[in-house]
Structure 1
Amino acid sequence: MKAIVKKFPGKGFVLDEVEIPKIEEPNEVKVKVLNASICGTDLHIWKWDEWSQERIKTPQIDGHEFVGEVVEVGPMVKGLKPGDIVASETHIPCGVCKQCKTGKMHVCKNMKILGVDRDGVFAEYVVVPEIVLWKLDPSIPKEYASVMEPLGNAIHTVTSVDLRGKTVLITGAGPIGAIAVQVAKISGAATVIVSEVSEYRINMAKEMGADYIINPLEKNLVEEVMKLTNNDGADVLLEMSGNPTALNDGIEALTNAGEAAILGVFPTNPVPFAMNTAVFKNITIHCITGRKMFETWQIASEWLRTKRIDLSKLITHILPMEEFEKGFELMNSKKSGKIVLKISE
């Protein structure tokens, strides 16, 4: 089969011919991949940055966001059959650790990640455990379905805080930050303010329904938020950028006893942080990773099925698998929303 492979250390991927994977465990499912979308993690691996060099073992198939059709099931699979359309959770839990046993599978102690710790989904077929697959309503467009995993990130972040009647500041309007605008509105936010430096993404945030957009390279973010909130500050910060300055400006822009939900992953660890400000303001901070399995998948499915969320403005490019390099260049330029690769018909 055709697959996009990190064949050697270094920048880029190779479109290669590899063996079709086989079901080896009784709880596994073989899926024909229809569409797969490019994620920021994939971009890190494409660039071969420091994190990738430490984490990725070559050769390996990349990718983890996809929608596909079930073609074969193992003898212990009970909830799926050939012909079912499915999306997949990226995090593969062990099922036996304390976290898995107490409803926290998304932070499984022994977690494996598709396209990071094992072969991914930029290929015509993939084999995964049944536990990670989510059966889809046939009415959900397949282009949208491949984006359900990052949509789940946005839902997990936004719904960690009660937004009813609140003023919300979103720092970073990449694909997840942009869709978080819609999620915040659905969740009851009165006003959504977005901070973003990319002109392309500023326009995307406008299309997604942001009430106010501030470019912090042109205006002081904290001062502008104070002007918009009668000098009170935002009630909630949703940090999506992974930029330390954005994080700290966001904390400064919060009202006393405000809340922050942080999804962004930062380039250095530890991150310089306005801790004294957070302490004296009595800020509550929620740190977010992944999606709640499978609470946020259920919410995402229903909002897509009932057309409460519109992903048409978020998905800016649909490319054939063979044009993956163009997709990664677009992602790297920050002149795109979500990019979907068509893998199979």
Structure 2
Amino acid sequence: MTKMMKAVVKSKKAKGAELQEVPVPECGAQEVLIKVKATSICGTDVHIYAWDEWSQSRVKPPYIFGHEFSGEVVETGDLVHNIQVGDHVSAETHIVCGHCAQCMTGNAHICQETQIIGVDRDGCFAEYISLPAQNIWKNDPSLSWDRASVQEPLGNAVHTVLAGEVSGKTVAVIGCGPIGLMAVSVAKASGASRIFAFDLNDYRLNLAEKMGATDTIHSMHADPLEVVRKETNNAGVDVVCEMSGHPVAMDQGFKMVTNGGRVSILSLPVRPVEIDVTNDIVFKGVTVQGITGRKMFQTWQQTAGLLSSGQVDVDPIITHHFDLADFEKGFNLMLKGECGKVVLHP
């Protein structure tokens, strides 16, 4: 008889999701089966739950979503030799081909054939998940399940902040959702001289201050451009980490960056954004970087190091815990912006 498990399924092409009983996935010869201990809700999951324009164009229900997790290996395939039953693990969520030009030149994070767990194939909002062994990241057993589950999004923040030089520079983090908050902490740990955090949510701005922001600005109560001009002696900030995806905020980011500065964009705008390329990029000599995923596995090493050293503490932003069956409570908090990171426990 097929073993069954509980899972959060994006069952319809509409807002919402359902808790269903589904078969436990099989473990292939080059795969491992993992008992999920903690899984956290990402902004991408919120896009999918809300069924916005991006998710409508990308995902194909029905399937299990979710991609951030930690767990324990309970079965290994016949061809898996570097991972053992009982190992504490998380996973790189980009499953790549290994043979395209990008994979062959050390850029697997932008593989042309990437499949993302919980987006293009079944994910981890479930009691079990089966994944290729090559995607598994072994965790220190002393790392709590909760902290281990947020390494994937923390890796996004690490990749965004450390895509260029940060030490001694001024940094603006636009959008203080969970990954933006992590970016604040990474920038602090990396020696940024000053960190400006922008958002429209007082709850998250308070968290940004706890994470190390030197200046927190509510973008409806103060003009972000005026604040930056005043506080940088009209020079602008050296680095902008764009985490909001809002057209107005993105435009402000390009206007506040200094000549020769860097704008790294992790956010996913749901529609095209208008930017003054001539004046805010070309004439300023700005470097613009699209950030996707994590460098495999350089970013994972950096992320694990920052956590183990204590220089980055994710505890302040893990604000809520729910049973997997109560997933709707977590999504509602995310949609309202009344939380940091929400962790579900199968």
Using the size of structure 1 for normalisation, the TM-score is 0.97
What's the counterpart of residue 329 of structure 2?
326
What's the counterpart of residue 314 of structure 1?
317
What's the counterpart of residue 252 of structure 1?
255
Aligned CA RMSD, in angstroms, stands at 1.1
Q: Following superposition of structure 1 onto structure 2, how do residues 281-296 of structure 1 map, counting pairs within 5 Å?
A: 281-296=284-299
* Conserved 8 A contact 1:139-1:305: no
Matched, 1:158 2:158: no
What's the counterpart of residue 19 of structure 1?
23
What's the counterpart of residue 172 of structure 2?
169
Aligned residue among 45, 48, 61 for 2:48: 45
Match of 1:206, as an amino acid?
A: E
Structure 2: gaps of 5 or more residues: none
How big is the shift at 1:333?
0.3
Q: Following superposition of structure 1 onto structure 2, how do residues 72-83 of structure 1 map, counting pairs within 5 Å?
A: 72-83=75-86
Aligned residue among 251, 273, 276 for 1:274: 276
Deviation per CA, 1:132-183: give whole Å up to 9, x if none.
1100011211101100000000000000110111111111111111111110
What's the counterpart of residue 4 of structure 1?
8
Q: Following superposition of structure 1 onto structure 2, how do residues 1-345 of structure 1 map, counting pairs within 5 Å?
A: 1-24=5-28, 26-269=29-272, 271-276=273-278, 277-343=280-346
How big is the shift at 1:297?
0.5
How big is the shift at 1:107?
1.0
Per the alignment, in what secondary structure is the counterpart of residue 313 of structure 1? Answer: helix
* Conserved 8 A contact 2:52-2:270: no
Match of 1:3, as an amino acid?
A: A
For 1:51 and 1:316, locate their aligned partners in 2 and report how far apart those are by CA, in whole Å.
Answer: 27
For 1:161 and 1:200, locate their aligned partners in 2 and report how far apart those are by CA, in whole Å.
Answer: 29
Give the share of equivalent positions with the same residue, in percent.
Answer: 49
Structure 1: gaps of 5 or more residues: none
Match of 2:17, as an amino acid?
A: F
For 2:49 and 2:81, locate their aligned partners in 1 and report how far apart those are by CA, in whole Å.
Answer: 37
Would you say how many aligned residue pairs link Structure 1 and Structure 2?
A: 341
For 2:217 and 2:59, locate their aligned partners in 1 and report how far apart those are by CA, in whole Å.
Answer: 37
Per the alignment, in what secondary structure is the counterpart of residue 233 of structure 2? Answer: coil
Greater shift, 32-41 or 48-57, is seen at 48-57
* Conserved 8 A contact 1:33-1:124: yes
Match of 1:173, as an amino acid?
A: C
Using the size of structure 2 for normalisation, the TM-score is 0.96
How big is the shift at 1:197?
0.8
For 1:247 and 1:17, locate their aligned partners in 2 and report how far apart those are by CA, in whole Å.
Answer: 42
